[in-house]
Structure 1
Amino acid sequence: MTDLLSKFDPLIQEREALLSTGVADPYAVVMEEVKSPTVAICNGRETILLGTYNYMGMTFDDDVLHAGKQALDDFGSGTTGSRVLNGTYQTHKECEDALKEFYAMDHAMVFSTGYQANLGMISALAGKGDYVIIDIDSHASIYDGCSMGNAEIVAFRHNDVEALEKRLRRLPEEAGKLVVLEGVYSMLGDVAPLKEMIALCKQYGAMTLIDEAHSMGFIGENGRGVAEAAGVIDDVDFILGTFSKSVGTVGGFCVSNHPKFEIMRLVCRPYIFTASLPPSVVATAATSIRKLMHAGNKRAHLWENSKRLHQGLRDMGYRLGTPEAQSGIIAVMVEDMLEGARLWQALLENGLYVNLARPPATPLGMTLLRCSLCAEHTSEQVTQILGMFEKAGKEVGVI
């Protein structure tokens, strides 16, 4: 009998070799208690959280928590059904209304996760005979959405405007074309040159879908993402995002001004065939989204934190994923998985949690420690974080 798991043997061996060095499993951290958006108890120790994507720190907001508790009392623990059957409650409509107001767009559609939002939108929009043009560093959910829709996938070099134009120029003029881009790329924290790319898409007759998962709430004057900051939000066909980052809960969404958008509710399989989010979750999301409309001071503080941490790490001698702070993500690049794991563990033992990212999730086979800042990190915590990176880096020999 063929062992269907044998194809994972190289990964199993790599993991066993890493753990045999005495390094803790970086993918099995348990948070025994979460005290705030920035502090938790990990392995019995108070730990600063720098790897949670909780950019705007909404997970413990009093209004958000109250809305969730009230919805739990009013509507129960779950819907037990899909959005197209019994799974649309008043709370789901209110959440979509909040999204429409936040983005100033005509239509909004809430999915059960951000992954499913990409899976549903891309697979429904681009099918057999169509082309999906994507950045080679796109998130797994974007690749999976392309595969599910049977469209022809055309990838171009990361953030390369010229490479995008070459791909678009070669495609049949009459073919359906969807260009999928991310505002912020989650591994290195770099930003897409959307102004130039959206102009090219219009020139070549391609529709556009921008995934603003890592920029919604934080980047742009109103927190609408990189498309807003680049001044092209009105030229984008679809904006997609998640509730699991700045919004502080779970779920996904897509907003659009396209006049035919509502038909997507009847053609997106991940929307149709998945139970809808519990009413308490969408109630917290709606409350959080409405508060993010007026979070200019929090956005400014997060930018301060990001710029200060980036500069401090660079001054210590760390190699970073971007030349300057471009988002709430700062990627510390290391030589290999073992060095990365040792630095990750040294940081954890010093009271700091970050993400250890490895291939194939990372571009170009890199290993990196990914830091994601929060608007609730105090200036004092950023000072502590820098001290922890200096101490751990010297212990491991990275700096």
Structure 2
Amino acid sequence: MTDLFSKFDPIIAQREALLATGVTDPFNLVMEKVVSPTVAMCNGRETILLGTYNYMGMTFDPDVIAAGKQAFDDFGSGTTGSRVLNGTYAGHKAVEAALCEFYDMKHAMVFSTGYQANLGIISTIAGKGDYIILDIDSHASIWDGCKMGNAEVVPFKHNDLAAMENRLRRLPEDAGKLVILEGVYSMLGDIAPLKDMIAVAKKYGAMVLVDEAHSMGFIGPNGRGVAEDQGCLDDVDFVIGTFSKSVGTVGGFCVSNHPKFEIMRLVCRPYVFTASLPPSVVATAATSVRKLMHAADKRAHLWENSRTLHKGLRDKGFQLGTDEPQSAIISVIMPDLERGAAMWEALLHEGLYVNLARPPATPAGMTLLRCSLCALHSAEQVQTIIGMFTRAGERVGII
């Protein structure tokens, strides 16, 4: 009889070989206590957090926490139902109203996770007979949404405008076409040339979906993302985002100005057949989104942190994923998984947590140490981080 787990044998062997070297399991770290958006207790010691997506530091905001506590008292711990049945509370409408105001768009639809937002929107609007044209480095949730929807998937080389146009040129003129892009790509922290790409998409009659998960709250004059920053947000048909990064809780959403968008609430299966977010979560999200509208100072400080860390690591001899800082993500390229894991553990011993990212999640088979900065990292913490990287890198032989 075939063992259905046999397909995972190469990954099991790789993991066992890695752990046999004595390294701590980098994918099973437990945080015993979270002290603040930038500090936690890990393995019994105080650790600087540089591997969360808490870009704007909203997880411990007093107003956000108060809103969640009040919702617990007023509405209980959960809805126990779908949005189309008993699962729409006042808070769900309030957070959708906050998103409409934040993006200055007419429609907002909230999902239980960001992954589910991509899964639901993509699989529903692009189906059999339609074409999805997407960047080959797109997030797993985007690829899974494509699979679920049964559309013809046409990938193009990462951030390659000419390759994207070549794909579009070959498609039938009268076919339904959806171009999917991301504002910030989460592995290397690089941004897309959205303005030029969206112009090409429109030239060939395609609708455009932009995932702004890693830019919402931080990039752009109002924190609306890369499309806003490049002056092309009005040309985007669908913006996908998440609450699990800058907003500081959990959930996903799509905003749109499409006049027929509200029908999605009845035809989008991952929305219809999933329990809605707990009242405490939507209350914290709504409060956080409204505060992010007025967070220009925090955005400016986060940019300063990004520039400082990028320059500091580059000057020490580390190979980085981008030539210049483009987002709150700074990726440090490792020679291979074994030395990447050793560097990750050396940093943890220094008192610093980062993400160890490996294939197939990473592009071009790279192993990365991914650093995600927070607006609440102090200038002193950033200098401390550079020192930790330097000592760990010298000890492991990376620099």
TM interval, shorter chain, is over 0.9
Aligned to 1:126: 126
Structure 2 residues without counterparts, runs of 5 or longer = none
Which secondary structure state, in structure 1, belongs to the residue aligned with residue 23 of structure 2?
A: coil
Using the TM superposition, give the Cα deviation of residue 2 of structure 1 relative to its aligned residue in structure 2, in angstroms: 1.1
Counterparts of 1:17 and 1:68, CA distance in 2: 44
Aligned to 2:297: 297
Please give the TM-score of this superposition, normalised by the length of structure 1: 1.00
User: C-alpha offsets along residues 145-184 of structure 1, whole Å, 9 cap, x if unaligned?
Assistant: 0000000000000000010000000000000000010000
Q: Secondary structure at the residue paired with 2:200?
A: helix
Q: Distance in 1 between matches of 2:82 and 2:102?
A: 25
1:65-80 matches, cutoff 5 A: 65-80=65-80
Map residues 1-399 of structure 1 onto 2, 5 A cutoff: 1-399=1-399
2:165 partner amino acid: E
Secondary structure of 2:36's counterpart equals coil
What residue identity is the alignment partner of 1:85? L
Q: Which amino acid aligns with 1:13?
A: A
Secondary structure, counterpart of 1:255 in structure 2: strand
CA distance in 2, matches of 1:349, 1:140: 31
For 1:69-93, what per-residue CA distance to the aligned partner results, in whole angstroms no more than 9, with x for missing partners?
Answer: 0000000000000000000000000
Distance across 2 between alignment mates of 1:284 and 1:313: 35
Instruction: Please tell me the residue identity of whatever aligns with 1:237.
Output: D
Distance of 2:112 and 2:132 partners within structure 1: 23
Distance 2:71 2:211 in 1: 29
In the alignment, structure 1 segments of 5+ residues that lack a partner are none
The whole-number CA distance in structure 1 between the counterparts of 2:238 and 2:2 is: 44
The percent identity for this pair of structures is: 77
Deviation of the 1:95 alpha carbon: 0.3
Q: Deviations over 1:280-319 (max 9, x none)?
A: 0000000000000000000000000000000000000000
Q: CA deviation at 1:270?
A: 0.5
Distance 1:268 1:341 in 2: 40
SS in 2 for 1:165: helix
Deviation for aligned residue 1:257: 0.5
> CA offsets per residue over residues 182-201 of structure 1, 9 Å max, x none?
00000000000001000001
Taking the aligned partners of 1:342 and 1:92, their CA distance within structure 2 comes to 44
Task: Name the CA distance, whole Å, in 2 between partners of 1:302 and 1:40.
Answer: 20
Letter in 2 for 1:177: K
Structure 1: distance between partners of 2:385 and 2:247: 24
State the distance in 2 between where 1:393 and 1:164 align.
38
**Within 2, Cα distance between the matches of 1:147 and 1:335?**
33
How far off is 1:267 after superposition?
Answer: 1.0
d(CA) in 2 for partners of 1:202, 1:178: 10
2:52 maps to a residue whose letter is T
- SS in structure 2 at match of 1:307: helix
| Structure 2 counterpart SS, 1:241 | strand
Residue by residue, what CA displacement relative to the aligned partner does 1:309-360 show, whole Å, maximum 9, x if unpaired? 0000000000000000000000000110001000000000000000000000
* SS in structure 2 of the partner of residue 319 of structure 1: coil
Distance 2:215 2:266 in 1: 28
Give the partner amino acid of 1:233: L
1:126, CA displacement in angstroms? 0.3
Measure how far apart 1:376 and its partner are: 0.3
Matched AA of 2:305: N
